[in-house]
Chain A
Amino acid sequence: MRIIPTLCLAAALAWAGGAALAKDTGLIFVSLERGNEVVVLNPDLSVNTRIETSRRPRDMQFNKDRTLLYVACGDDDAIDVIDVATLEVIDSIPTGPSPEVFAFSPDESQIFVSNEEDSTMEIIDVATKTVVERIATGAEPEGVINSVDGQYIFVTSEVADMVHVVDRAKAAVIKNIIVGTRPRRFVVTPDGADLWVSDELSSEVHVIDVATLEIKTVLSFVPPGFRPEDVTPVGMAVTRDGSKVIVTLGRANHVAIVDARTFDVLQYVLVGSRAWDVALTADEKTAYVANGLSDDITVVDMVSMVPVQSLPVGRTPHSIRVDD
């Protein structure tokens, strides 16, 4: 582990390099939960490098200009910071026990992180690397996301089967929305209107209307030849125009491509074992799916909606992000 300068330095480096310097490298980053590394693939899918991180890297988020990639590392209670230009870990932010999923505030001054082992969501000030708030959640909090306007932070509790709605200004839970069994992850549509929540064990996705904080609709998924109990939705990705959402179906070894306006499933695509996360390229012609049990990723052509390639990446791929 190399944790060299402070975050201020990291930020300075990023700034010195020019904040607008997202290079659209097309690099693909995959966190390997049991490999303790982030593997970086070139756009042609050859391995660029493997970045050693703190233990058990899971969720990853870019800063807005994509100069830094933050990685939540569950077994070292830290969020590592990777410099996207040098592909090295340049800093680490301490968190509570077992961070899994996190999100930035819209101005990137704060990180909201779920600590699955002590049932809290922490708000961490990025500049000082200190915890400014700890908000109690139901057991095993996981998914964390902002509303587009930054007013709310949403957190799932896998055990309580609910979405906590946290008012950011009050730093308080203002509502609990009961959803399906074992809610995991979120996406928000780009217009900020709809919050999608994957329910791993009830094989559903709940769509919540952000304006009213009420459930708008419930989607269920059954790829041909599967039973509902085989379907365990987890990770999702939404297109920039908000027209489609890709939902990974876990043990059903498929992803569903869903029309986000009609809520119809357009296609089920066969991928690897326990598909867990998905990311789109900027042109949205390609989706990469991380498969947690077959230790590989599947490349899906979004135009024809068919899988085109699978390749091994290392032990237990968790999250996948593309720099472009």
Chain B
Amino acid sequence: MRWALILLALATPALGDDLKIGHLSLAEDPRYVQDWGYARLITPPPVVTADAARMAITDLQFTTDAVGLTVTLDAQAVAETDVVTTAQKMVADGTAYLVLDLPGAAVAAVAVALKDQPVLMVNATAPEDSLRSACHANMVHSGPSRRQETDAFAQYLRAMGWDNVLILQGDSPEDSDFADAFTASAERLRLTVVDRKPFTLAADPGNREGNNVRLLTAERNYDVVFVADTRGEFARYVPYATQLPRPVIGSVGLTSQAWHWALERDGATQVSSRFDKLTGRKIQPADWNVWIAVKSLITAAMKTPGADPAKLRDYVTSHRLKLDGSKGVTLNYRPWDGQLRQPILLATTEAVIAIAPIQGFTHQTTTLDTLGADEAEFVCN
């Protein structure tokens, strides 16, 4: 092998810049470490998205070498109580670009703590729309917002003619957010929500209307059941158990994702295979979110030498960024809410069934803006 030959690539003029990227996650993220052995769930291997950050750096090394950009990664996995102090310390130590793989509440806390610091943060994995409408000046969001996910569902239901939706909703704030986002998406495309019912996991015989799937789905007329259950413990019992024979979507059945290992168009297979080879596990949507976050930072840094976080944010939220996420179209971030424009996959555990924007849904600037909060309706809170 002639790996030494890579050095010749340095023949092009060097900028001699350094790009230090931070990656902050929880040592035990409840979203990934699902210790539910008692429930006989097949749990995926722990997701360590720092792997995806490393892959992005390796993927682009040929190019960064060619322009003389040195990229380093400082990955920290800490307890939830230490998140804010760790983030502050990373910035104090010279990290100007910080990728956050944290639950929504922790992202919000870090955003507030670092709001006046010279840092550009990328929220990679918290889907809360409230983080977008908070309009943090030094934050963008690479993972899909809830609203992008639910707009993808709404387009699919509209295209399939499944107009009447029964919503079942769990009791966590995340479940309620998910159901709210879906309801807003349904309104946008004039779908009918026939009912929105809370469910409970407790098998209390006095509350059968709230814990028995057949009774919960005893409505006379619905085309599809949308389950908002971000923990997934209830949702998995809903398919094939509804009173009427209807498909189930949301947290189970057909789900809405940034990425899926089975995606095989547009170079997606190569991304997933490289990840398999690097980590020995199947790529998860959170990994793609972090990979594209780091890729966008490096791509922008190469195009705007002498990187300054504020300049980089301007660059990534402009049409000058033409980011390749192996989803068939170029990606960039929306200037109004910092959200990455991207296609959303509608997938089962085994296959990608459809990719939104679904053909036929059009928009005056880019069809990707049919997913998520659009400029005209967006307000900062």
Contact = CB atoms under 8 A, between A and B. Distances in A.
A and B: interacting chains? yes
A241 to B, nearest CB: 34
A181 B328 contact: no
A182 B8 CA distance: 22
Interface of A: 98, 116-117, 120, 133-140, 157-162, 171-176, 178, 180-182, 201-202, 227, 229, 232, 251
The 5 residue pairs across chains A and B that have the minimum distance between CB atoms? A138-B62, A160-B62, A160-B63, A181-B322, A139-B59
Given A136-B6, A172-B2, A161 B63 contact: yes
A175 B62 contact: no
A171 B274 CA distance: 26
Interface string B1-15: 111011011011000
A251 B328 contact: yes
Contacts of A140: 267, 270
Contact of B66 (A120, A162, A229): A162
B1 A136 contact: yes
A176 B66 contact: yes
Contacts of B329: 201, 229
A137 B11 contact: no
Contacts of A229: 329-330, 366
Interface residues of B, number: 27
B324 interface: yes
Interface of B: 1-3, 5-6, 8-9, 11-12, 58-60, 62-63, 66-67, 267, 270, 273-274, 322-324, 328-330, 366
Contact of B2 (A136, A161, A174): A136
A173 B267 contact: no
A133 B59 contact: no
B6 A173 contact: yes
B342 to A, nearest CB: 12
A172 B8 CA distance: 8
A137 to B, nearest CB: 7
B87 to A, nearest CB: 30
Contact of B60 (A136, A160, A251): A160
Contact of A159 (B6, B9, B60, B273): B60
23 contacts: A136-B1, A139-B58, A139-B60, A139-B62, A139-B274, A140-B267, A159-B59, A161-B63, A162-B63, A162-B66, A171-B2, A172-B2, A172-B5, A173-B5, A173-B6, A174-B8, A176-B12, A176-B66, A181-B323, A202-B322, A202-B330, A227-B366, A229-B366
A162 B62 contact: yes
B1 A117 contact: no
Given A139-B270, A174-B8, 15 more contacts: A116-B270, A135-B2, A136-B5, A139-B60, A139-B62, A160-B60, A172-B5, A172-B8, A173-B5, A173-B6, A175-B11, A178-B67, A201-B322, A201-B324, A201-B329
Contact of A158 (B2, B3, B67, B267): B267
A181 B274 contact: no
B324 A159 contact: yes
